[in-house]
Amino acid sequence: MSEELNSKILAAHCEKDIHSLIRLYVEASKTTGNHDEECFFLTNAYICALETGSSETKFLHDQLKKYGREI
């Protein structure tokens, strides 16, 4: 992931801006060529969505389930 994205993620963690974290982690999941890494970031996005009750929860859950990473 780019330096820029990385620092945005850190800043969002710092500010406990969970809504932005969903978007940023989804973005991060797209920058990696590695499937495990992609799932790692998708998982983080999913947890942030779950915590905030975001409308993206279902999509992220489906995605992880499709990859066999969630039930």
From 4, 14, 53, 66, residue interacting with other proteins (rule: CB under 8 A): 53
How many residues in the chain?
71
Structure token digits, residue 51: 């915590």
What residue type is 10 in one-letter code? L
Residues 44, 25 contacting (CB under 8 angstroms) = yes
Cβ 12 to other proteins shortest distance, Å: 15
Is 63 a binding residue for other proteins by CB under 8 A? The answer is no
Structure token digits, residue 23: 């978007």
Is 26 a binding residue for other proteins by CB under 8 A? The answer is no
Binding site for other proteins (CB under 8 A): 36-44, 46-47, 49-54, 57, 64, 69-71
